[in-house]
Chains A and B, each alone.
Chain A
């Protein structure tokens, strides 16, 4: 019986050590970003982050950018019906968010998977700029400021999380 308990404890301990190892990777990585809290929150919200290496953490962040950009794009589509006066700005934003979703995100994922992460970093940086440009289209009267900020911040954290080298 004591042996059984000891074995179980052993297994949990080792598992905990491994968790700790990866938690420390997450923590180290997030320390290097401009928004530690957002980084930790986003990574830990994904159950796979515990087992992920640097590439995996990068992919999790890019995925979070993709989800938030999608949410923002749908919001933009909805707004087009209700804010006809903002049509031009919303059209511009549609283009900008489609670029994030159709170009930046797929190329970032591709680069990470192929072991050339520096391009993924650049794409995430550009995505943050697209979000900022979209916001600027409204000349101070943006209906999506909160979403813009969330996208922009996620992009910057993603850029910081993605390693320079693999």
Chain B
């Protein structure tokens, strides 16, 4: 209700109002009694009139009458200043929420000024399926990073140091919903086998007491590590803070020190106190003397990227203008900015620029909870990034992932010279389910990012090669012919933990005969109705996490329109993924470029409640969260299918069982 801090209990999931939200209900306020209107005729004429003539008498009475009338009219309230309506719609100012108008608990993230962290059912229903312990415990992943329990969101400050990969992550130590955010910490030698460490940072200063939010690491040429992160102050203002390792020679980087002069950045002129977060890794200016970072924000409905320069990471100059801005995209969270080589397959250090280099600018859009990126060119002298294709600008063009994938962040692995991408995969079951099972969210398998030299207009993502060391027994299939409407089971010992690689070809003779003049080019995965809707040339692909009778199943498929390869769609169909009603059941996907001479190829990493699917070697990716009630444990099955009406397809590929990554606590007692 006011600007002065009031401690609230963030551990109580129902205490959803920030300290800034009025604890009253404007619509149904009963805390005051209205004072009755003042009586109209309170005016008494000043002085008295000497009535000398009739005219004077008439004057008096008409004067009295006129005064009365005018006074009556003047009783209407007429506030001189009208409130301007824009503040009402702006999600960055706290609003009072009428408790009676809501059926589900209000989002606790939004009132603090970050994006909504929870999945909300479209209808706002709170129907809960009768989940059993077996179903819920099955949902935990075997080889994706997730903490032992409780809530996780954005990946933070990924880096490589003295032999260990470090992952930090937004974590709530107290419950399975967002709140009391601290930095969890884990290390790995290979980005797959992770070991939990103690927290790196907790909310313990006035400038981050409401949450130690997302940040990035910069490794300086002399090996120093600088961590910049967003703190949410005790008054819910977003500020940037500096931290560094307590002991740089510690390979585990256990201890972290917060700079005594924090915060190093507060929201600048024109930027709202809740629109200033997620500082990036820094890059060097052309002369090599200064560092630049960018921080996403917004101006009205335009997503923007502010740039600051610094020498010591303690004091900053804000540069004029923005690195880039795109109208209509809203708040830019978790901005990422990095170079990719147009000619080499290795990644590039964040400061690299020059001919043969393009820059990726990426933003997580608060308004639709998806990660968007675009390729372009960075001019470090003007400090401007220009998209290659303004029609596919940041926020209106390509996405890293067409499923559930957000708050992603890359880092440069200087040892293997790879650009590695992390992404937060939230739950798509209900919040009640998360509280029931005691945890929420996983991280994606880290992906390498390279420029797609074949198309020139997108990046390629691929799971880091180390994940292949989890492959055990495999089954191969070669040129298996699938007639129209056919479905073939594939053998798998661990159908919930699989790495599936498959490529498909449409049988030529049948294909040529079925090209029609009436082309259906209005196909779109989200509106397609999924794999049950048959076309002449698709859908075909695989079905994972299915049960024997296919009452549950998740098809991952290609749909080729009559335009042929020129318009191929890659979709993940969750419509029948579960019989439960409190989970998301949508079809994700998009068009995917398939070039001449290429087969339709896919790879799916199946790991219990997460499936990450890659088309055409990583040109398009879809991450799905799946919560079956039947297709679990020994009852789960995998199938190849071809639901096209007009063509046969041949399928070749391999399906590996995947062993667990055995993610556990760091064995300190064995040191």
Instruction: Judge if B668 is at the interface, Cβ distance under 8 Å.
Output: no
Instruction: Judge if A29 is at the interface, Cβ distance under 8 Å.
Output: no
Instruction: Judge if A72 is at the interface, Cβ distance under 8 Å.
Output: no
Nearest residue (CB) in A for B46 is A17
Q: Which one of B27-35, B222-230, B429-437, B636-644 is at the interface?
A: B27-35
Nearest residue (CB) in A for B261 is A88
Contact call B81/A14, Cβ cutoff below 8 A: no
Inter-chain contacts of B66 with A (CB < 8 A): 10, 14
Bound complex: CA of A48 vs CA of B35, how far in Å?
24
Contact call B81/A53, Cβ cutoff below 8 A: no
Bound complex: CA of A46 vs CA of B43, how far in Å?
26
Which chain B residues (44-96) contact chain A, with CB distance < 8 Å? Answer: 46, 59, 62-63, 66-67, 70-71, 74, 77-81, 83, 87-88, 92-94
Q: How far is the CB of B546 from chain A (nearest CB, A)?
A: 52
Inter-chain contacts of A102 with B (CB < 8 A): 92-93, 272-273
Which chain B residues (318-352) contact chain A, with CB distance < 8 Å? Answer: none
Nearest residue (CB) in B for A48 is B80
Bound complex: CA of A55 vs CA of B34, how far in Å?
14
Contact call B94/A103, Cβ cutoff below 8 A: yes
Q: How far is the CB of A53 from chain B (nearest CB, A)?
A: 6
Instruction: Judge if A31 is at the interface, Cβ distance under 8 Å.
Output: no
Bound complex: CA of A154 vs CA of B144, how far in Å?
57
Query: 0/1 per residue, A94-108, Cβ < 8 Å to B?
Result: 111011101110110
Contacts A51-B78, A95-B266, A166-B34; A103 near B93 (Cβ below 8 A): yes
Q: Which one of B129-137, B231-239, B483-491 is at the interface?
A: B231-239
Q: How far is the CB of A42 from chain B (nearest CB, A)?
A: 13
Contacts A110-B87, A119-B22; A99 near B237 (Cβ below 8 A): yes
Contact call B3/A99, Cβ cutoff below 8 A: yes
Contacts A14-B66, A55-B77, A95-B273; A130 near B35 (Cβ below 8 A): no
With beta carbons under 8 angstroms apart, the residue of B20, B79, B239, B265 that contacts A103 is B20
Inter-chain contacts of B71 with A (CB < 8 A): 18, 21
Contacts A95-B266, A95-B273, A166-B35; A123 near B2 (Cβ below 8 A): yes
> How many chain-B residues does the 8 Å CB contact rule pick out?
48
Inter-chain contacts of B32 with A (CB < 8 A): 116, 118, 165
Contacts A91-B266, A119-B22; A51 near B80 (Cβ below 8 A): yes
Query: 0/1 per residue, B242-286, Cβ < 8 Å to A?
Result: 000000000000000000010101111100110000000000000
Q: Is the interface of A mostly helix, strand, loop or mixed?
A: helix
Inter-chain contacts of A110 with B (CB < 8 A): 26, 83, 87-88
Contacts A88-B261, A99-B237; A52 near B79 (Cβ below 8 A): yes
Contact call A165/B266, Cβ cutoff below 8 A: no
Nearest residue (CB) in A for B235 is A99
Instruction: Judge if B4 is at the interface, Cβ distance under 8 Å.
Output: yes
Bound complex: CA of A74 vs CA of B94, how far in Å?
24
Which chain A residues (80-102) contact chain B, with CB distance < 8 Å? Answer: 84, 87-88, 91, 94-96, 98-100, 102
Instruction: Judge if A59 is at the interface, Cβ distance under 8 Å.
Output: yes
Contact call B63/A13, Cβ cutoff below 8 A: yes
Instruction: Judge if B311 is at the interface, Cβ distance under 8 Å.
Output: no
Contact call A56/B3, Cβ cutoff below 8 A: no
With beta carbons under 8 angstroms apart, the residue of A56, A73, A114 that contacts B26 is A114
Which chain B residues (1-15) contact chain A, with CB distance < 8 Å? Answer: 1-4
Inter-chain contacts of A51 with B (CB < 8 A): 74, 78, 80
Bound complex: CA of A48 vs CA of B62, how far in Å?
28
Nearest residue (CB) in B for A98 is B273
Contacts A10-B66, A122-B2; A87 near B315 (Cβ below 8 A): yes
Bound complex: CA of A86 vs CA of B104, how far in Å?
46
Inter-chain contacts of A122 with B (CB < 8 A): 1-2
> How many chain-A residues does the 8 Å CB contact rule pick out?
56
Instruction: Judge if A126 is at the interface, Cβ distance under 8 Å.
Output: yes
Q: How far is the CB of B82 from chain A (nearest CB, A)?
A: 8
Q: How many A-B residue pairs have CB under 8 A?
A: 139
With beta carbons under 8 angstroms apart, the residue of B80, B94, B235, B315 that contacts A49 is B80
Contact call B2/A59, Cβ cutoff below 8 A: no
Inter-chain contacts of A96 with B (CB < 8 A): 3
Which chain A residues (16-61) contact chain B, with CB distance < 8 Å? Answer: 17-18, 21, 46, 48-49, 51-53, 55-56, 59-60
Instruction: Judge if B24 is at the interface, Cβ distance under 8 Å.
Output: yes
Which chain B residues (71-125) contact chain A, with CB distance < 8 Å? Answer: 71, 74, 77-81, 83, 87-88, 92-94
With beta carbons under 8 angstroms apart, the residue of B92, B263, B268, B273 that contacts A99 is B273
Instruction: Judge if A109 is at the interface, Cβ distance under 8 Å.
Output: yes
Bound complex: CA of A46 vs CA of B79, how far in Å?
13
Nearest residue (CB) in A for B2 is A126
Q: How far is the CB of B22 from chain A (nearest CB, A)?
A: 6
Q: How far is the CB of B78 from chain A (nearest CB, A)?
A: 6
Bound complex: CA of A31 vs CA of B392, how far in Å?
63
Bound complex: CA of A116 vs CA of B96, how far in Å?
13
Contacts A127-B3, A165-B35; A109 near B81 (Cβ below 8 A): yes
Instruction: Judge if A63 is at the interface, Cβ distance under 8 Å.
Output: yes
Bound complex: CA of A5 vs CA of B77, how far in Å?
32
Q: Which of B2, B32, B59, B74 has the most CB of A within 10 A?
A: B2
Contacts A17-B67, A98-B237; A59 near B315 (Cβ below 8 A): no
Q: Which of A21, A115, A116 has the most CB of B within 10 A?
A: A116
Q: How far is the CB of A135 from chain B (nearest CB, A)?
A: 15
The 9 closest A-B pairs by CB, nearest first: A48-B80, A99-B3, A126-B2, A59-B81, A56-B80, A56-B79, A126-B4, A94-B266, A91-B266
Given contacts A52-B79, A119-B1, 8 further A-B contacts (CB under 8 A): A14-B63, A17-B67, A18-B71, A48-B81, A95-B267, A98-B267, A102-B93, A107-B94
Give me 29 A-to-B residue pairs in the complex whose CB atoms sit less than 8 angstroms apart, sorted by A's number: A17-B67, A18-B74, A21-B71, A46-B80, A51-B74, A52-B78, A59-B81, A63-B81, A73-B269, A87-B261, A87-B315, A95-B235, A98-B237, A99-B235, A103-B273, A106-B93, A107-B1, A107-B22, A107-B93, A110-B26, A111-B22, A116-B24, A119-B24, A122-B1, A123-B2, A123-B3, A125-B2, A127-B3, A166-B35
Residues of A that sit less than 8 Å from B by CB: 6, 10, 13-14, 17-18, 21, 46, 48-49, 51-53, 55-56, 59-60, 62-63, 73-74, 77, 84, 87-88, 91, 94-96, 98-100, 102-104, 106-107, 109-116, 118-119, 122-123, 125-127, 129-130, 165-166
